[in-house]
Amino acid sequence: MYELKIVSQFAAAHQLREHKGGCENLHGHNWKVEVIVAGSELSNGLLMDFKDIKAATKRVLGELDHKFLNDLAAFKVCNTSSELIARHIFERLSEEINSEKVKIARVTAWESDSACATFFLP
């Protein structure tokens, strides 16, 4: 099995609903996002071209960049927690990238240098 990882970023504001504490107030983060793609078959020595992973990630993160996340359709009924942001990015990238040979393995969303959430399927 092979894994490829790219790192990207976006900036966005949000507020956690029904959370007692400062994060219930409007605030923002410069999010760092790690995307891992996995597969077992290489084609000409490559699992997937990094540029294709980066392009798909740029499209997906572009939907979030410089937005108030609570206003987006994906977060109208669920909280904008790091966990659910990682899951949303995972699901959107899976739509863009997954094939018979490669799949999104995991997505980690860092809201700060010391706090992140990862989503993956068992």
CATH of the domain at 26: 3.30.479.10
CB 39 within 8 A of CB 47: yes
Task: Give pTM, 2 decimals.
Answer: 0.95
User: CA separation (Å) from 43 to 6, 66, 101, 104?
Assistant: 19, 37, 10, 17
Q: Into how many domains does the chain fold?
A: 1
Which pLDDT score, from 0 to 100, does residue 18 have?
83
Per-residue model confidence as pLDDT tens digits over 73-86 = 999 999 999 999 99
Looking at residue 95, the DSSP 8-state letter turns out to be H
Q: Which long-range contacts (CB under 8 A, 24 or more apart) does 47-51 make?
A: 47/2, 47/4, 47/101, 47/102, 48/4, 48/97, 48/102, 50/4, 50/6
Quote the domain boundaries for residue 50. 2-120
User: Has residue 25 got a pLDDT over 80?
Assistant: no
CA–CA gap between residue 8 and residue 121 (Å, rounded): 21
